[in-house]
Structure 1
Amino acid sequence: MAAFTAADVKKLRDMTGAGMMDAKKALDETNGDIEAAVDALRAKGLAAVQKKSSRTAAEGLVGVAVEGTRGVAVEVNSETDFVAKNEQFQDFVRKTTEAALALSADDVEALKAAPYPDGGTVSDKLTNNVATIGENQQVRRMKTVSVQKGAVVPYMHTAAAPNLGKIGVLVALESEASADVLADLGKKIAMHIAAAFPLALDADGLDAEVIARERKIAAEKAAETGKPADVQAKMVDGAVAKYAKENALLSQVFVMDNKTPISEVVAQAGKAAGSAIVLKDYVRFQLGEGIEKEVTDFAAEVAAAVKG
């Protein structure tokens, strides 16, 4: 008996762009494990590499806030996009993000226990929102960045309201350069980050498990060439190096000119300003990243309810 359903086949096809029979075969070979099936299709050259964000969905809002040389991004989820447009929900996300600025560490539980500007705690207000709006809501994650001297520049892509939207970015620039220079550079880099989706600041920051997975896929592809082992090893190293270069922010090619590495964009800006600029850190929160929304068959649910 198959360990997967037709819905799984469709999901795999949507994730990879593979044909129906290729997707079904991959699921057969992996006993229904979708992630393993994605890897199998990629190893065979039958799947396009896709960012997690293109496979995930959740509603709500991302908020960003900056105070001095410190900034924070917070994601709050709701069940529907309708609630994300609700002024009460937007006010909650905005004030919760501002409350997060006062915390010394990125701790969602501490944020929930933090004082809410209107009284009580963030958790108290969240509970009240759920009761009054009538929909489940969750404070999902937060991340803070800061510099000793310089600027933290916020950017919101597809904004629903000031500092609220679906993709929130913060860029932390350490420098003695003027505020105007850092604001301009920070916004350009933030727009790049929103579009290019880097996975880490530099290659050393990439997740070891992700690199291991890419190496495994590259090794399977190299093995299929039948070339000598030493050649295959070089092919694998080259593929992993290419992956790291394309996914680490500092080595990514700037989307605005499609030729200059971000590290060089920063260096050139510092030279022009007469003061060195260091891209110290960044945040990119995309609404729903890493969450897969459950797909239900509404007609089947109604039929089941009628049957009792």
Structure 2
Amino acid sequence: MTILLTGGAGFIGSNLAKQLLEEGHQVICLDNLDSYYAPDIKWKNVQQTLSIPAYHFHQGDIRDSDLVDTLFQTYAFDAVIHLAARAGVRPSVQDPALYYDVNVNGTLTLLQAMQRFGVTKMVFASSSSVYGDSPQVPFTETDSADRPLSPYAASKRAAELLCHTFHNLYSFDIFCLRFFTVYGPLQRPEMAISQFTESILNGQAINVFGDGSTARDYTYVDDIVSGIIQSLKNLKGYEVLNIGGADPISLANLIRVIEQAVGQTALINRLPMQPGDVQQTYADIRKATQLIDYHPSVRVEDGIQRFVDWFRSRQDADLVMK
């Protein structure tokens, strides 16, 4: 298959690109290398696959309809895997207009291009944040998702609805995958596990928002990649699927796991809960198991150890380069 992969230079996208290439697909990556975190990190991700003939990288914005049309004219896409988005729950509170523009209007630009050029298949990266602070756990796809707590969450839910509209109007096959807190090698540096690992290794205090009782359903990136590829193989109709680890862990216990993997004790700076944060996330993955044969296999304890090992190897490589 020839696949347009948006956001392919990022954390999930670069891991996914490598797996798609190994499976024999042609991958056309579109990423604007924005400054939400250091663009050179994303460029390093791209360089891992840039020499592979079946991989083509284009720097640009999903909101640029002329560029998107050019890509659709140049390549005969079989499907779109749409990961590109402005990320981050807390920052979205400060700049909601940007999040809506990128995440909703960018998605609309892609869907319209698909309609114009006769491409009818998309896997869309949504988020567990659409569930808001639901007291009912685990979260199931039939739960109400109409009370998001952040502009980021609202933008993801709005994009899901756009996807359904184009399924209804043009018979697109679209799966909206609600990812649950992804972690692993190449993870974005501002995410909690990255920040905690770096700070503990350097003997610096970590900022802990709340009393440590908040819980997240952390999902190792290899399991997320598996869920995306399984969705691509089973893509038919319109579906919303939870792609999570189905094994939530409290923030306090997560810190203990990282301490054990690092071999050092964390210094903790306690702060109030942040606007937009939810108390817990927990994926009911029965639908994904039945529909796409999704089976997460990496326990958080093992995944954290893998991440810490990778983080240390990256630090060692950086020291060699200096």
TM-score by length of 1: 0.27
TM-score by length of 2: 0.26
Larger of the two Rg values belongs to structure: 1
